[in-house]
Amino acid sequence: MPPGHRPGTELPPPRLAPPRPMRRLASAALAALALAFAPGGAAAQGGEVAGVVLSSPAQQPVAGAQVTVTGTTLRVLTDAAGRFAISGVGGTQATLTVQRLGFQRVTRTVRVGDTSLRISLAESALSLDALVATGTAGGTQRRAIGTTVAKIDAAQVVATAPVNSVQDLLNGRAPGVVVIPGTGMVGGGARIRVRGVSSLSLAQEPLIYIDGVRVDNRAATGPINQGFGSSVISRFDDLDPQEIESIEIIKGPAASTLYGTEASHGVVQITTKHGQQGGTRFDLHVKQGANWFQNPEGRVWNNYGVNPLTGQVDSLNMVRAEDQRGHPIWQNGRVSEYNLGASGGSPTVRYFVGGGLVRDEGIEPNNTVHRFSGRANVAATPSAKVDINASLGYTSGRTSLGLEAGGGGAAWTTFFATPANLNTPRRGFHSALPEAYRSAYQDWQDVNRFTGSVQLKHKPASWFTHRVTVGTDLTRENNVELVQRIGDPQVAQFFSAAEIRGYRDQTMRTVSYNTLDYSATAAHDFGRSLSSETSVGTQYYRRYSEFVSAYGEEFPAPGLRAITATARQRASQDYVEDVTVGVFAQQQLGWKDRFYLTGAIRADDNSAFGRNFDLVYYPKVSASWVVSEEPFWRFGPVNTLKLRAAYGETGQQPASFTALRTFSGVPGPGDSITVTPQALGNPDLGPERSGELEAGFDAGFLNDRLGLELTYYSQNTHDAILLRQSAPSSGFPGEGFVNGQYINAGHITNSGIEAVLRATAFDRPRFGLDLSFSLATNHNKVVSLGLPGRDFVTAGSFVQHHEGYPVGAWFERRVVDAQFDAAGKLVRGSEMCDDGKGGTVACASAPLVFLGRPTPSTEGSFTANVRLFRSLRLSSLVDFKHGFSKLDGNLRVRCTLFGRCRENFYPLDYVGTAQSRAWLAQTQNTAYVSGLISDASFTKLREVSATYSFPTRWAGRLGADRASLTLAGRNLHTWTDYKGMEPESSFLGGSRGGASAQWEQNVVPQLAQFVASLNFSF
């Protein structure tokens, strides 16, 4: 069977009819939506206010600041030059509120008709008045919430930093959020973990919302070569970072209760750019640069083997050898990106329209990303009581990943090269030549994705606001792995007969995610001190996935590509529907705008729950106290102090079908059709439930020039879903999805501390320095599996879910010493292993011992931003991830499977210490792998950039109001003791890419990158 073949799986029919509790909730949702949205009168005619917003004392333009006419719906964002204009302002005077993340809010009364205003904002490391999303109608001020919410000013970051994807935006900018990339291939995806791992068998990705609509958050898609999953594509990265205004990350159950089932792993809220009042303004962004494999000669190993011509043991550095031949293995890939956006509008209608084109190349000629994205956002305010926002986004393109991981590709044949293949057609490479692989194999994904939403907000009375959001996210993928019939004998000589005949494996996946979200808030003030906000809401989410796959092998002639042209074919089709309906109620009380107490309850039903499982209820309570605004506060150095605490619960529904008892059709006697047991099911199966206690404070020092946010969290996940072996008498014997039974049984804990320190160290007209440091810890443990008589279950190769240890921990026999004969050959049976009690025991009877956790126990980042002479900005980001272990699959293949390490040929040089003897024993006995699992902690210089803003007169000569040039680098240096290729790379899918796997083999590292960007506003 040709490499790359993956047999299709048959799944039971989808469950379409929701249970009766869901129908009750659906009826409640429709009843809530029956509230009328009665629009008021047309916007009154009025005067204009205009001006510029500048930073103080540097007097630099502040772009993206929100300017609001207090008491009205009139609001605009400042442009790249800091300018704003608001029309339709009534009366003779107006009160403007100006706010921007990173600055202190300013409120100022101005004369209507004044169009030359100059408003200065002082930089601030802490802002309690910023609005954040909480799931209720309208935003909530940060001062009123009892949890931490990380907010990333994406528009500001993208303007200067070398950011290529949404995952680049998240990495290192939010404590407690860990990004785990798969490969350095351009277009490659990554997994995202928020506050550790809290499930034994379910997906761990956070929910993703774009402009209020839930979207596909799958991290690993695309053609996954030969069951290995490093070269995968993430749906996170369909969105162009140039289109994003801001990102908010709601980290745990204490904050995500109102988002209900599916939200236990966090929520990422993405807000795209919207228009602003004023004449049409254009923003042009052009980026050019290069990706490269940094120091391949020093990072690709010297392999050893017997030279067939001399009979001597030679070493071979394949990169050096090919460079000397004038045929470098890897190229420098070009980076190209073009974006054009237009925005403007009147007080009644505002718009943003933008489009982007990406044409990136990796270090492999057949690794490319060609993507077009477009966005059109419109905001309308037909009256003072109604706001309408429509958001439309479209992405189309092809990502070609080349052949990586598994058993082929340039990395495979280079990493495991041998001198034994010198002076052969292989030139020393392990298998086929890199150019042969590139000629024979093609892997790509075509995607077309549409995301659209409409939000209607209505304020029929001063005390009542309600909003409804409807939208859809539709993704169509076409994943192809193609090997055409190989007619060139110079290429065919490296491949098997099956590969020469060729095959095509194609999967088309369509996913639609529909959202209907309604919420209402009633506010009332009881005198001057006590305020009340009562919120209710209901949500309906429907996810529908359809898969069509086809496979054909043996093309009769070269040049054929269609499956219908092959000699043998097969196809399969499947579809899955998942529906969630939920309702919530929340009550918030505020005392003198400085103490807030909030309580809420949410009820959910999901179509994946067992038929005997009723509604699930998630409670929430939180408190926030701005102590520094109390009359008794006199502690001068600390000018702002907010204490906060919260407890909340949420969950994660089971995977589709795991609650159902299913049967599959099979041929019966006499050409009849019968059924056979497939899955036992569990009618009592419910969601995993996560409860979290969070407490901390936000403090501002020295007039908020120094800000500190500190959070402690303790999370408990109960009813964690795992697989239990079913009794043979049930007719569903064995383990695995086909025969086992999923049950709610496990208990997992996560706890840790998150800290963010921000400082405006210097702020002078000609010099400014901003610094930030973040740190997050995570302690993860399986408390109980809930399986009588068992304290662990196997979760993958050398991986266990073991009581008392982290989820998905590494477990294997640890070799500590061995004996060798005079020739350096292992004396079998002499191996001694760790007995788990501080001593040693013969490895034949040794227990499996803990070798490390798969996810970092500590992570964080350091950023520095320097401003010089009002025109030059220098920025840098260093991030680190410590306290986790990886399995070095490259070392395993080179030394223990293929025997191409120096130790295999000169063993007597490695018998001096017990540690070296232990490793040598593992190179000669493939039964042991403990020496392959090691600490992968690292610190990386992630980003550096320099941005020069041209003088206005220079920009004017180009027809622009503003122009800037940015030079930036990415992934420029890594500090690590890890001996493998890349401490970040990991399998994300396939047979070795479990939810917590950290296994590196045959993948290229994170690529270094240098880019130059030009930005024009006109």
What 3 state SS string does 495-518 have? CCHHHHHCEEEEEEEEEEEEEEEE
Position 189 scores a pLDDT of: 86
Please name the amino acid found at residue 760: T
Mean pLDDT to the nearest integer, 580-593: 95
Cα separation of 299 and 315, whole Å?
15
Cα separation of 22 and 266, whole Å?
24
Position 260 scores a pLDDT of: 87
Position 14 scores a pLDDT of: 39
Please name the amino acid found at residue 642: K
Buried b (16+ CB within 10 A) or exposed e, 103-139: bbbbeeebebeeeebebbbbbbbbbbebebbbbbbbe
Cα separation of 182 and 169, whole Å?
17
Task: Provide the 8-state DSSP code for 895.
Answer: I
Separation in Å, CA 665 to CA 10, 460, 638, 658: 10, 58, 71, 18
Quote the pTM value. 0.89
Cα separation of 267 and 270, whole Å?
10
Q: Is residue 226 pLDDT above 70, yes or no? A: no
User: How wide is the angle at C-alpha 198 spanned by C-alphas 196 and 204, nearest 5°?
Assistant: 80
- 652 strand-pairing partners: 688
- For 312, left (φ over 0), alpha (ψ -120 to 50), or beta? beta
Element (H, E) at 585: strand 568-591
Position 671 scores a pLDDT of: 76
Cα separation of 1009 and 165, whole Å?
14
CB atoms within 10 A of CB 414: 24
User: How wide is the angle at C-alpha 621 spanned by C-alphas 176 and 265, nearest 5°?
Assistant: 30
Is the CA virtual torsion 604, 605, 608, 614 positive or negative?
A: positive
Position 340 scores a pLDDT of: 96
* The pair of three-digit structure tokens given for residue 314, joined into one six-digit string: 């030679």
User: Minimal CA–CA distance to 376: which of 392, 396, 388?
Assistant: 392
Cα separation of 127 and 99, whole Å?
9
Q: Is residue 441 pLDDT above 60, yes or no? A: yes
Least confident of 148-152, 223-227, 261-265: 223-227
Q: Is residue 996 pLDDT above 90, yes or no? A: no
Cα separation of 469 and 33, whole Å?
11
Does residue 464 sit in helix, strand or coil? strand
Looking only at the bridges linking them, the beta strands covering 809-812 and 849-852 are antiparallel
Mean pLDDT to the nearest integer, 876-896: 95
Position 992 scores a pLDDT of: 55
Tell me if 460 sits within 8 A of 431, measured CB to CB.
no
Cα separation of 36 and 520, whole Å?
12
Position 22 scores a pLDDT of: 46
- Output the CA torsion 764→765→766→772 (10° steps): 40
Mean pLDDT, the chain, integer: 88
Cα separation of 849 and 582, whole Å?
44
Tell me if 800 sits within 8 A of 809, measured CB to CB.
yes
Q: Is residue 878 pLDDT above 80, yes or no? A: yes
| Residue partners of 720: CB distance under 8 A and separation at least 6 | 198, 199, 200, 201, 688, 744, 745, 746, 747, 748
Q: What is the pLDDT of residues 721-773, one digit of tens each?
A: 998 876 666 666 554 444 578 999 999 999 999 999 999 988 888 899 999 99
* The pair of three-digit structure tokens given for residue 686, joined into one six-digit string: 């419910």
Position 737 scores a pLDDT of: 43
Mean pLDDT to the nearest integer, 56-64: 75
Tell me if 230 sits within 8 A of 224, measured CB to CB.
no
Q: What is the pLDDT of residues 160-188, one digit of tens each?
A: 899 999 999 999 999 999 998 888 899 98
* The pair of three-digit structure tokens given for residue 242, joined into one six-digit string: 């140039």
User: Minimal CA–CA distance to 286: which of 350, 226, 356, 354?
Assistant: 356
Tell me if 141 sits within 8 A of 128, measured CB to CB.
yes
Q: Is residue 7 pLDDT above 90, yes or no? A: no
Q: Is residue 604 pLDDT above 50, yes or no? A: yes
Cα separation of 325 and 144, whole Å?
66
- Of residues 107 and 377, the one with the higher pLDDT is 377
Q: What is the pLDDT of residues 458-498, one digit of tens each?
A: 999 989 999 999 999 999 999 999 999 999 999 999 999 99
User: How wide is the angle at C-alpha 354 spanned by C-alphas 348 and 358, nearest 5°?
Assistant: 165
User: Minimal CA–CA distance to 183: which of 14, 412, 389, 339?
Assistant: 412
Cα separation of 377 and 72, whole Å?
21
Separation in Å, CA 128 to CA 594, 628, 700: 10, 12, 10
Cα separation of 126 and 149, whole Å?
13
Cα separation of 188 and 369, whole Å?
10
Q: What is the pLDDT of residues 791-815, one digit of tens each?
A: 999 888 899 999 999 999 999 999 9
Tell me if 360 sits within 8 A of 336, measured CB to CB.
yes
Buried b (16+ CB within 10 A) or exposed e, 189-219: bbbbbbbbbbbbbbebbbbbbbbbbbbbbbb
Sheet architecture: strand order including 83-89: 83-89, 47-56, 117-122
Quickly state the pLDDT bin for 58 (edges 50, 70, 90): low
Task: Provide the 8-state DSSP code for 892.
Answer: I
Task: Give the HSE-up count for residue 254: Cα atoms under 13 Å, Cβ half-sphere.
Answer: 26
Q: What is the pLDDT of residues 628-664, one digit of tens each?
A: 999 999 888 899 999 999 999 999 999 888 888 877 7
Position 1 scores a pLDDT of: 39
User: Minimal CA–CA distance to 967: which of 287, 347, 110?
Assistant: 287
21 prior amide bond cis, ω within 30: no
| Residue partners of 729: CB distance under 8 A and separation at least 6 | none
Quickly state the pLDDT bin for 528 (edges 50, 70, 90): confident
* The pair of three-digit structure tokens given for residue 618, joined into one six-digit string: 């998630």
Does residue 431 sit in helix, strand or coil? coil
Tell me if 243 sits within 8 A of 393, measured CB to CB.
yes
* The pair of three-digit structure tokens given for residue 234, joined into one six-digit string: 């993430």
Percent of residues, the chain, with pLDDT higher than 90: 66
Position 739 scores a pLDDT of: 56
Separation in Å, CA 474 to CA 61, 215, 539, 568, 1010: 39, 8, 19, 33, 34
User: Minimal CA–CA distance to 512: which of 467, 575, 469, 445?
Assistant: 575
Least confident of 144-148, 235-239, 736-740: 736-740
- Output the CA torsion 151→154→156→157 (10° steps): 100
- E strands, 164-309, are 177-181, 190-194, 207-210, 213-215, 228-229, 244-250, 267-272, 278-292, 303-306
Q: Is residue 377 pLDDT above 50, yes or no? A: yes
Element (H, E) at 677: strand 673-679
CB atoms within 10 A of CB 251: 29
* The pair of three-digit structure tokens given for residue 192, joined into one six-digit string: 């995202």
Cα separation of 81 and 118, whole Å?
12
Position 406 scores a pLDDT of: 54
Position 668 scores a pLDDT of: 78
- Of residues 976 and 659, the one with the higher pLDDT is 976
Q: Is residue 256 pLDDT above 70, yes or no? A: yes
Cα separation of 596 and 627, whole Å?
11
Cα separation of 307 and 428, whole Å?
10
Task: Provide the 8-state DSSP code for 492.
Answer: H
Cα separation of 291 and 867, whole Å?
28
- Choose from 38-52, 209-223, 224-238 the range with maximum mean pLDDT: 209-223
Least confident of 457-471, 552-566, 676-690: 676-690
Alpha carbon 504 to chain centroid distance?
A: 30
User: Minimal CA–CA distance to 509: which of 472, 475, 482, 541?
Assistant: 475
Q: Is residue 16 pLDDT above 60, yes or no? A: no
Alpha carbon 767 to chain centroid distance?
A: 36
